[in-house]
Structure 1
Amino acid sequence: MLSKYKPDAFNIRMNCGADVGQSVFHFHCHLIPRYNGEMDNHKGGRMIPKKGKY
């Protein structure tokens, strides 16, 4: 998979506990591929282009 899509980096995101929105209590982790140039500003670990103000 890595050789096909060739991400430049990854965000690792975990939701652990009801107070962060976890509703099924098991190990819950997202590995999100990131690509150089997909966003103008990665400040604060922003994960979705054009969302949030930092």
Structure 2
Amino acid sequence: MTLKTILSAAVLALAPTLVAAECGWEKKINASQCADGQSFDAATGTCVTQSTS
């Protein structure tokens, strides 16, 4: 086997592992995870305290 074939096989074998590992890097918050008295701000992707007026 040539070096090129071995490297290609290694990349193909490791690709699913790298893709699966990337999924957990970014923490995602949605509206159901906000505490009482807070609402989800889609622009910032965070929970913000609701103002009372």
Larger radius of gyration: 2
TM-score range, shorter chain: under 0.3
Structure 1 length normalisation: TM-score? 0.21
More helix by share: 2
Q: Quick one: higher RCO (CA 8 Å, sep 6+), 1 or 2?
A: 1
More strand by share: 1
